Amino acid sequence: MTKLVRVIDMERCMGCRACIAACITENYYTPGSRWNEMVEHEVGEYPYTRTVFATMGCMHCEDAPCQRVCDAIGVKAITKNEMGVVLIDYDKCIGCKYCAAVCPYGVPQYNDAVNSPYPDGEPTPYESVPAQDRHPTHRKKPNVVEKCTSCWHKLEPAVKAGKTGLIGKDPRYTPSCDLVCPVSARLFGDLDDAQSEVSKYIGEKKAAQLKKEYGTHPQVYYVLEGGDY
């Protein structure tokens, strides 16, 4: 089995937001519905303070409440695929925002309009790509909910080609946010492979899942100050 997970080292992250920029350019960003957000908070007391940064995308929970609620109301627009990636089908989504309400991490982003990032300028090259030429996860629509797909459009070819072993190693099959980090604060790979870099990192650094009280079993781990909680 393959269990794709991400680890984000908050002890290393310096808040440069390269991962945010990578996500924006990779995933046909429309204003108001970022798939990857940087949050920061200050620790310590003046004048001895510093900022802690964390990037937040979808946690791709093993027991995803967004999927549960979507199934419960019969919409069934949210699925968790064979690689553990939680995806939203825009054609099925009714825009009820229930998934956004139940997600403990505030991940699903309701997109009420597909606006241009530069409304006063020419459409950017990526905006000009017709919907039918895009991956289904990039066929943006108004009044539906969107979220991080772990760059499924990059992982899917690896799965189809039987190259799942290259996910997280080959840049073609690795989420863009994880590729661009200049301080190697992000890793992506197979947790079920005990020899994978991501497995070792989680074990050695005692990386933790966030908000464990919700019992969602997120597939994104964070290296927190002071270790697991």
Partner 1 sequence: MIRYALIVILALGAFITSSAQQSEPQSSAQLARIAEQIRQHRIDVGGDYSMNAKTGRFHIIHADKMLMDCSNCHYGDRYQPDYMAVGRDKPFPEAAKGQYVRSVCLGCHQEGGLATIWYNTSTE
- Residues forming contacts to partner 1 in the complex (CB under 8 A) are 34, 37-41, 54, 56, 63, 65, 68-69, 72-73, 75, 94-98, 101-107, 209-210, 212-217, 229
CB of 134 to partner 1, least distance (A): 26
Residue with tokens 């004048």: 47
| DSSP result, 14-55 | ----HHHHHHHHHTT--TT--SSEEEEEEEEETTEEEEEEEE
Helices (H), 57-151: 65-72, 98-102
Of the two residues 94 and 159, which places its CB atom closer to partner 1 in the complex? 94
Helices (H), the chain: 18-26, 65-72, 98-102, 152-160, 176-179, 197-205
CB of 164 to partner 1, least distance (A): 26
Q: Which has the closest alpha carbon to 176: 25, 32, 17, 39?
A: 25
CB of 73 to partner 1, least distance (A): 5
CB of 214 to partner 1, least distance (A): 5
Of the two residues 76 and 172, which places its CB atom closer to partner 1 in the complex? 76
Of the two residues 38 and 166, which places its CB atom closer to partner 1 in the complex? 38
CB of 19 to partner 1, least distance (A): 13
Of the two residues 158 and 185, which places its CB atom closer to partner 1 in the complex? 185
Of the two residues 61 and 181, which places its CB atom closer to partner 1 in the complex? 61
Residue with tokens 């979808």: 58
CA distances from 29 to 25, 113, 139, 163 (A): 7, 12, 11, 28
Of the two residues 172 and 217, which places its CB atom closer to partner 1 in the complex? 217
CB of 68 to partner 1, least distance (A): 5
Bridge-based pairing of strands 220-223 and 4-9 is: parallel
Question: What is the number of other CB atoms lying within 10 angstroms of the CB of residue 119?
Answer: 7
